[in-house]
Amino acid sequence: MRRWWFAGSSYIHYLWKAKSRYVIHSPFVFDLINHVFINKTKTPELIELDKACKAIFNRTTIIETTDLGAGAGKKTYVTLVQKLGKIARKRTQEKKYRHLLYYLTQYFQPESILEFGTSVGISASYIGKGCAFKKFVTMEGCAVLAAHAKETFIEQELPYITVKTGNFDNILDKVLNEFTRLDLVFFDGNHRKEATISYFERCLPKSHEDSIFIFDDIHWSPEMSEAWEYVKNSSEVSISIDLYKMGILFFKKGIARQNFIIRY
């Protein structure tokens, strides 16, 4: 109950603070809004992704999953036995944010991508279809979900996305060693403050001026809001954008630090 109350109050605060594109004076952010945030183009790829996503949501196969993140509460992990479709719906962004991932990658064309939290591979598919990536690694703590993600990538003709299975705390450093740099990182795994900050700081040395770090569920809980406040105020960050459900960080050099809350 407390988390839902927090979500409601934080959303009201977001609506009160959020700005429209017409009062944004940063040329970079203004262009981003016009080319990405308000983009409604339904490309053939996006239409097919939406169809595939709907099909996954309707799957009735019963599976047992393991949650190593904030969903486990104070426990190390919890197991759930549910329909695949129900789990996919619960762990996947709503449509407009899935589209945002596609439009972002279509616009910036990142070549090296890292994702925390594969689930069944839906968000990674939207990211992967938007760009001609050279290296894409996605990490998932649950082996059962990772197996279904691999099936999703084959169905979407994205066989070059690599799935790494295990606790992020244990496998992240080895995964990072595979990258010379990180163009895009999508943090959608362990929704705990300490974990989120730790993953951010461990990825930071691989960032560069054109890197994009995307955080999901930044106002999911007080902990996540605190984590967002921490990462957006990093000395390496030049622009932060709060879209309520997602937060985006940029590392552009030579510009004054700016924090934006934008209506989306």
Q: What is the CATH number of the domain that holds 127?
A: 3.40.50.150
Q: Within a domain: residue 143?
A: yes
Q: Within a domain: residue 238?
A: yes
Q: Within a domain: residue 87?
A: no
Number of domains in the chain: 1
Give the phi and the psi of residue 117 in degrees, each rounded to 5. Answer: 95, 80
Q: Residue 80's pLDDT is what?
A: 78
The answer to whether residue 128 scores a pLDDT higher than 70 is yes
Handedness of CA 17, 23, 25, 28 (dihedral sign): positive
Q: Residue 3's pLDDT is what?
A: 66
Q: Residue 98's pLDDT is what?
A: 98
Q: Within a domain: residue 85?
A: no
Q: Within a domain: residue 88?
A: no
Q: Mean per-residue pLDDT for 84-104? A: 95
* Pairwise CA distance, residues 98 & 109, whole Å: 16
Q: Residue 8's pLDDT is what?
A: 78
Residues whose CB falls within 8 Å of the CB of residue 75, separated by 6 or more in sequence, listed in order: none
The answer to whether residue 76 scores a pLDDT higher than 80 is no
Q: Residue 72's pLDDT is what?
A: 47
Q: The tokens 């549910």 sit on which residue?
A: 82
Q: Residue 34's pLDDT is what?
A: 95
Give the whole-number percent of the chain exceeding pLDDT 90: 82
* Pairwise CA distance, residues 48 & 43, whole Å: 9
The one-letter amino acid at 87: I
Lowest mean pLDDT among 119-128, 235-244, 253-262: 253-262
Q: Within a domain: residue 82?
A: no
24: tokens are 């944004």
189 — pLDDT class (breaks 50, 70, 90): confident
257: tokens are 């630090």
Q: Mean per-residue pLDDT for 45-57? A: 97
pTM above 0.75, yes or no: yes
139 — pLDDT class (breaks 50, 70, 90): very high
Q: Within a domain: residue 146?
A: yes
Q: Residue 2's pLDDT is what?
A: 64
The answer to whether residue 13 scores a pLDDT higher than 90 is no
Q: Residue 1's pLDDT is what?
A: 46
Element (H, E) at 142: none
Q: Mean per-residue pLDDT for 201-230? A: 97
Q: Within a domain: residue 148?
A: yes
Domain with 17, as residue range(s), is 2-56+93-261
